[in-house]
Amino acid sequence: MRHVFRHIWLQFQETGWVFAAELKRIFRDPGVMVIFLVATLAYPFLYKGIYWREQITDIPVAVVDMSQSRESREFLHRWNAAPDIRLTYSCSSMAEAERLMRDQKVHGIIYFPHDYAAQLADPLGQAHISLYCDMSSFLYMKGIYLSCNQVMLESMRNIQVDRYEQMGMDKEFAWTLVQDAPYSETALFTPTGGYGSFLIPAVLVLILHQTLFFGICMLGGTAREENKQLFRIPGRRRGWSALRIIFGRGAAYFVIYYALAAILLIALPRLFDLPHIGATGDLLRFIVPYLLSTIFFSMCISVFIRNRESGMVLLISSSLIFLFMAGISWPKEMIPDAWRYLSYIIPYTAGANGFIHISSMGATLWTTRAEYITLWILSGAYFVIACTLLVITGWLHDRKEEKESRLCAMQA
């Protein structure tokens, strides 16, 4: 029994040695420290600064009013009162308005035909309004289209009441007919309706994933450049050594990033006034498998990194791909099946969706169990893969040394 406890203690000692050695490597590498600490904490403020204004106001719009009637002026007066748009130019033709849009002086055009007032006066008539939006940014389209749609719905109710009165109905009864199905709009999970509140929570999770991924790849590339075999423990079976090495190195990354994750995913949403209605305890528990799966995923990729700069290429090429594949900025239903299935092996996919469910939508850990279990499965799978790859690289390294030693002996 004493021998068993002594053996277990030796395993902890060697794992602790790996843990301390990896922490030393991290804090002695200025580039990795910049990625782990400076970039991880600075990027959220950069993105928040970019999306500080949640919505665009006073979008310039050109008016082509061929009707020149009281009805068209009344419509424009109501629309111009909306904070989203500003009626800047009054044009005499569509060609003039199109020229202004090509020059980016306006981002929308509204057109009233000659017969607009006549069609409204006809009890069986149907008036048309043409709206043209600048699609170079969907924020322009959103502001122009939604504000115009609200004014149009209000105008339609007034037109219906006037037509009912012309038919001899009482005005109060006419209003009950028009408003027999009243509705109200409620913005769920993003009360401001802005793009920043929608995107930044997913970006915070991506920052954790990518900085951790890049830092681990940098350390792997540095070891390759210096021709070092990372933490080979001599005198023990290679399989058990790989377990201790992967676990010790992973623990070093986890200790640093768990504190960073608590800052990014719990403190910053409150500081930035982002949606944060989830339970803190659920978020803290959800962070654990997300970090572990990301750490072991990054350690698997780092095996194939040959130099320090290769991690930057992977970081730049994969960030937007991961963001789109997660189904946050682009609907999952619009993603091809092959890419959607591939996204399930990336920890960020389950991590981003789970975090948004808990933090922004108020879900519990139980209702987010699909993402939570997925992350634990990925953690275990990538841990086994990382250990296997370390065993294989160690075996190949030993074979190479044996071959070189035999060659030197023959030459001697």
DSSP string, 124-145: T-----EEEE-TTSHHHHHHHH
Residue 346 confidence (pLDDT): 93
Q: What is d(CA 377, CA 248) in angstroms, rounded to the nearest whole number?
A: 20
Distance CA 40, CA 260 (A): 8
Contact yes or no for 327/290 (Cβ under 8 A): no
Fill in the DSSP letter of residue 310: H
Three-class SS of residue 276? coil
39, 31, 24, 23: which is closest to 208 by C-alpha? 39
Which residues partner with 110 through β-bridges? 63, 131
User: What is the pLDDT at residue 82?
Assistant: 86
| H or E element, residue 403 | helix 369-411
d(CA 329, CA 206): 12
Q: What pLDDT sits at residue 275?
A: 83
pLDDT score of 64: 94
Instruction: State the Cα–Cα distance between residues 158 and 153, nearest whole angstrom.
Output: 9
Rounded CA-CA distance 84/60 in Å is 9
The Cα-based distances of 394 to 2, 225, 390, 397, 409 in angstroms read: 32, 16, 6, 5, 22
Which structural domains are found in the chain, ordered by start?
Answer: 2-51+192-411 (no CATH), 59-178 (3.40.1710.10)
The side-by-side arrangement of strands in the sheet containing 85-91 is: 85-91, 59-65, 108-112, 130-133
> Could you give the CA distance from residue 16 to residue 209 in angstroms, rounded to a whole number?
25
pLDDT of residue 294: 96
Exposed e or buried b per residue across 303-323, where buried means at least 16 C-beta atoms within 10 angstroms of its C-beta: bebeebebbeebbeebbeebb
Write the CB contacts of 210 (distance below 8 Å, at least 6 apart in sequence).
315, 318, 319, 322
Q: What are phi and psi of 160, to 5 degrees?
A: -65, -40
Q: Burial-class residue 115 by CB neighbours within 10 Å (0-12, 13-18, 19+).
A: middle
319 three-state secondary structure: helix
Strands 108-112 and 130-133: antiparallel
DSSP H stretches of helix in 167-273: 171-178, 195-225, 238-262, 268-271
Tokens of 134: 């600048």
CB 262 within 8 A of CB 280: no
The string over 54-83, giving b where at least 16 C-beta atoms fall within 10 Å of a residue's C-beta and e elsewhere, is bebeebbbbbbbebebebbeebbeebeebe
> What's the gap between Cα 148 and its chain centre?
30
In degrees, rounded to 5, the angle at the alpha carbon of residue 20 between the alpha carbons of residues 17 and 25 is: 120
pLDDT at 191: 67
Mean pLDDT split into 10-residue runs, the chain, 412 residues = 54 78 89 91 87 80 90 89 89 91 91 87 81 83 85 76 68 62 68 75 92 90 68 53 86 95 92 87 95 95 81 78 85 85 92 92 91 96 91 72 66 60
Q: What is the CA radius of gyration of the chain?
A: 31
CA distance 155 to 158: 5
Return phi, psi of residue 166, to 5°.
-65, -25
